[in-house]
Amino acid sequence: MVTTHLHLLARTDPLTNLSRLVQRFKGGSAHQANVERLGRGVNGLRWAKGYTLETVSPRALDAVRQYLRTQPERHPEEAIPDWAGDTPEYEQTGGEQWVGPNRAPL
């Protein structure tokens, strides 16, 4: 995350309504940021319209995680002051393949 944008890596159920999920992420985070007065300006935090979704193969997860962690280095003028970024201890590793009730792991 930087001051102008964020990237989110999430594993979801294949049947998840992704547009609804993103809508809830954006709406919920904007509401909370504004309750806590974390947004800038008189209107607080306002998300831009639209978003981009991409799928990631299990083999690319480590590279994607590294790319996401280096956003402040890629955009130093947009880095959040005094924020160390995410920490890997919150990442669950292993079992990256989603397994539904009628599927066996690949």
pLDDT at 35: 82
Q: Where are the domains of the chain?
A: 18-80
Q: Are 62 and 88 in contact (CB under 8 A)?
A: no
Share of the chain above pLDDT 70, in %: 74
pLDDT at 105: 53
Claim: this prediction has a pTM higher than 0.75: no
**34-38, 49-53, 88-92: segment of lowest average pLDDT:** 88-92
Higher local confidence (pLDDT), 20 or 101: 20
Higher local confidence (pLDDT), 104 or 38: 38
pLDDT at 18: 92
Higher local confidence (pLDDT), 33 or 59: 59
